[in-house]
Amino acid sequence: MSRPVAIVLADAWTRPSAGDHTDDTEAVADLLRRSGHGFDVRTAGPAGDRPLREALSDPDTVLFAHPGASGDDESAFRRLRADKGAIRRFVHGGGCYLGVCMGAFLVERGFLNLVGLAVDEYWSRPGADPSTPDPALVTVRWRGAERRMYLQDGGVIRPTRRALAETEILATYADGTVAACVTRCGDGAVGVVGPHPEAPPSWFHDHGVDLPADHDHDLGVDLVDTLFRTVHGSTPPP
C-alpha cells in the first residue's frame, strides 16, 4: 500500500537566499511529517523534485502546500500562473490545499480563485499588533485558547457570506478577525493561516523574536488534521 503523498512548493522564493535564510519549504515539509498521517512528503516546482503539474497529476498526491515566500503576492502568482489550472483541478477534484502566509494570499479570486476568501495584510489594520510587516509575535485565540505565534507580514482572512457556511474557523486575532480556517472547495478543501504555525525555533532566534514557552507544532498539526479530515474523514485514504 502506497503512502499518501504531500507536495510542498519549492522555488527560489521559498528556499533560503542571500537576503533571507528562512527555508519555508522545509519548515512546512517538517510540519507535514509531524502530522501523523504518514505522508510521503515531497517537493515540486523550480527548486523541487519534479514539475508541479506532474506532481499534482500523481494519483497518490492528496495534499499540496504553498508555504510562505519572500516578495509580494502578485509576483508569487505570476510565478504560479502556468500551474493555476492544475492546482484548481487538483483541489476541486478532491485534493487538499494548505496555504501558509503567502500561500493564504494566493487563494483569492484575483489569483488562484479557489474559494470565497479575501486575504489582506494584518499589520496595516487599525489597532493591529504588531503594526509592521517585520517578524514579531502575534496573539491569537486558537480554538478558544490564547496562543502567541510567529508572524511576518501575514494575512487576515475574510470569508464571504456564502463561503462562511462551509468554513471552520480555527483561530482569530485579537480583534476577532480570522487567522486560520478550513473551507470546502468542490470535492476538496482549502486550509489557510496568516501566522506561521510551522516556524522552527531558529526563526525566532534569528530575527530577535521571543520564543513562547508553549511553542510547539500542535497548532499546525491541528490545521493539517482539520484540512485532511474535511476531505477524507478521520483516517488517511487507502
C-alpha cell at 130: 504588531
Tell whether 101 is covered by a domain: yes
pLDDT recorded at residue 233: 85
**Which residue is it, cell 498521517?**
37
Tell me the C-alpha distance between 181 and 230, whole Å.
Answer: 12
Tell whether 67 is covered by a domain: yes
Per residue in 57-93, pLDDT tens? 999 999 999 999 999 999 999 999 999 999 999 999 9
pLDDT recorded at residue 129: 93
pLDDT recorded at residue 237: 46
Tell whether 237 is covered by a domain: no
C-alpha cell at 93: 477534484
Per residue in 103-129, pLDDT tens? 999 999 999 999 999 999 999 999 999
Tell whether 212 is covered by a domain: yes
Tell whether 192 is covered by a domain: yes
Cα 120 to the chain's mean position, in Å? 15
Quote the domain boundaries for residue 193.
5-232
In the predicted model, residues of the chain with pLDDT beneath 70 are: 1, 17-21, 234-238
Within 13 Å of residue 13, how many CA atoms lie on the same side as its CB? Answer: 18
**Which residue is it, cell 494566493?**
106
pTM attached to this predicted model: 0.95
Tell whether 48 is covered by a domain: yes
3-state SS string for the chain: CCCCEEEEECCCCCCCCCCCCCCHHHHHHHHHHHCCCCCEEEEECCCCCECHHHHHCCCCEEEEEECCCCCCHHHHHHHHHHHHHHHHHHHHCCCEEEEECHHHHCCCCCCCCCCCEEEEECCCCCCCCCCCCCCEEEEEEECCEEEEEEECCCEEEEECHHHHCCEEEEEEECCCCEEEEEEEECCEEEEEECCECCCCHHHHHHCCCCCCCCCCCHHHHHHHHHHHHHHHCCCCCC
Tell me the C-alpha distance between 230 and 86, whole Å.
Answer: 21
Domain count within the chain: 1
**Which residue is it, cell 530575527?**
207
CATH of the domain at 47: 3.40.50.880
Tell whether 209 is covered by a domain: yes
Contacts of 47 (CB under 8 A, 6+ apart): 10, 11, 12, 14, 15, 25
Crossing angle for the helix pair 24-34 and 218-232, to the nearest 10 degrees = 70
What are 169's strand-pairing partners? 181
Within 13 Å of residue 222, how many CA atoms lie on the same side as its CB? Answer: 15
Tell whether 238 is covered by a domain: no
Share of the chain above pLDDT 70, in %: 95
